[in-house]
Amino acid sequence: MAEQPIRSGAWVPAVRTYDEIINDSQASEEERRRAKADSLLGHMAALLFQRGELPHVELLRQVRSAEIEDDYENRSTDLWLEFDPGDYASLAEDAQEALRQVFGRVSARLDYGVDWIGFRETMPRVGPDWRERLEAMMSGDRPTNQARRMMPEKPKFVEDRLAFTNAGELRVYRALKRIQESELPAEETISIFPLPYGRISGHTWEPDLVVTYRGRAGVLEIDGPHHRVRRAVDTSRDHLLRDAGFAFVDRLPVEVVDNPKELLASLMRFLRRLRESS
């Protein structure tokens, strides 16, 4: 990856564009297809946002993966958007049609040779021990928060019988647990709920973390390393969460999550603002 200097004299990696990846002769066919799929998804979301169709933007934010596949029988190349089973079940036909229409416009303009879009639920990865895993999960010997997302695959990040989707979420949880157990008095501490799937008006959502403190509930979202220029859409989502009863919503950049000192300071600031929120 290319690098570019900044004024301080440090070096930071330059983010490659989709076109650079797609046209890179050294990139594999799989890398080019992933770039095309993510580009199609991003352009669809941006166009819908410009139109003010925020409910459809939120549908695209629920997409777990976007895959380009060849349909040899129909001689077409297809984009498949995959959703968690609960999100897929609530994907109404009129919403699917709206996404098909915007896909048609975006695909024609980008000219990636992708002809059709489809929607399906994610397929869990299983191994030969799937029977034992299912039995353990159904008997209660499993992570207790939304384990259905990882069923019957063994979660990679688990602590206190709670599952996490990545190391960053686990790092934030551990920092909050340290505050819970060491920084605050037992009679005035916090509760922590990782990945609590729930419903607010018009949407099914899974915040990264819900934290309660002094009679108030707040949401913490962790912006991953691929988070790009989505602040306006994030703001609309934050407004919906506050309208649904959350006192405060905050976001942690991945740079903060990776720095223990900054992470602790950011979490203490989050709790202070949650405590002072009206």
pLDDT of residue 119: 97
Do 248 and 165 share a structural domain?
yes
Do 112 and 50 share a structural domain?
yes
Q: Does residue 23 fall inside a structural domain?
A: yes
Do 110 and 181 share a structural domain?
no
- pLDDT by residue (tens digit) across 120-156? 998 877 888 888 877 776 765 555 555 445 455 566 7
Please say whether the beta carbons of 254 and 162 come within 8 A. no
Give residue 13's domain range: 3-121
Question: How far is residue 235's CA from residue 244's CA, in Å, rounded to a whole number?
Answer: 14
Closest CA to 36 of 51, 48, 26, 24: 24
Phi, psi of 71 (to 5 degrees): -105, 95
- How far does CA 65 lie from the centroid of its chain? 10
Question: How far is residue 115's CA from residue 76's CA, in Å, rounded to a whole number?
Answer: 6
Q: Does residue 136 fall inside a structural domain?
A: no
**What is the average pLDDT value for the chain, to the nearest integer?**
83
Given a cut of 50, whether residue 1 has pLDDT beyond it is: no
- Residue type at 208 in one-letter notation: D
Q: What is the CATH number of the domain that holds 41?
A: 3.30.300
Give the gyration radius of the chain's Cα atoms: 21
Q: Does residue 138 fall inside a structural domain?
A: no
- pLDDT by residue (tens digit) across 19-52? 999 999 998 999 999 999 999 999 999 999 999 9
Do 105 and 172 share a structural domain?
no
pLDDT of residue 232: 44
Given a cut of 60, whether residue 7 has pLDDT beyond it is: no
Do 166 and 104 share a structural domain?
no
Q: Give the domain-ending residue among 121, 141, 167.
A: 121
Question: How far is residue 208's CA from residue 205's CA, in Å, rounded to a whole number?
Answer: 10
Do 35 and 111 share a structural domain?
yes
Is the model more confident about 271 or about 128?
Answer: 271
Please give the share of the chain, as a percent, with pLDDT higher than 90.
50
Given a cut of 50, whether residue 10 has pLDDT beyond it is: no
Closest CA to 103 of 34, 56, 35: 56
Q: Does residue 269 fall inside a structural domain?
A: yes
Phi, psi of 254 (to 5 degrees): -60, -30
Question: How far is residue 23's CA from residue 239's CA, in Å, rounded to a whole number?
Answer: 39
Q: DSSP letter for 185, please.
A: -
Q: Give the domain-ending residue among 63, 96, 121.
A: 121
Instruction: Provide DSSP, 217-266.
Output: EEEEEEE-TT--S-HHHHHHHHHHHHHTT-SEEEEEEHHHHT-HHHHHHH
Q: Does residue 84 fall inside a structural domain?
A: yes
Identify the helix (H) or strand (E) that includes residue 5: strand 3-5
Phi, psi of 250 (to 5 degrees): -140, 160
Average pLDDT over residues 57-68: 90
Q: Does residue 143 fall inside a structural domain?
A: no
Structural domain count of the chain: 2
Contacts of 121 (CB under 8 A, 6+ apart): 82, 83, 84, 85, 88, 89
- pLDDT by residue (tens digit) across 204-246? 777 889 999 999 999 998 875 444 444 444 556 777 788 888 9
Average pLDDT over residues 258-275: 94
Question: How far is residue 41's CA from residue 106's CA, in Å, rounded to a whole number?
Answer: 9
Please give the share of the chain, as a percent, with pLDDT higher than 70.
82
Q: Does residue 58 fall inside a structural domain?
A: yes
Given a cut of 90, whether residue 78 has pLDDT beyond it is: yes
pLDDT of residue 8: 41
pLDDT of residue 4: 44
Q: Does residue 89 fall inside a structural domain?
A: yes
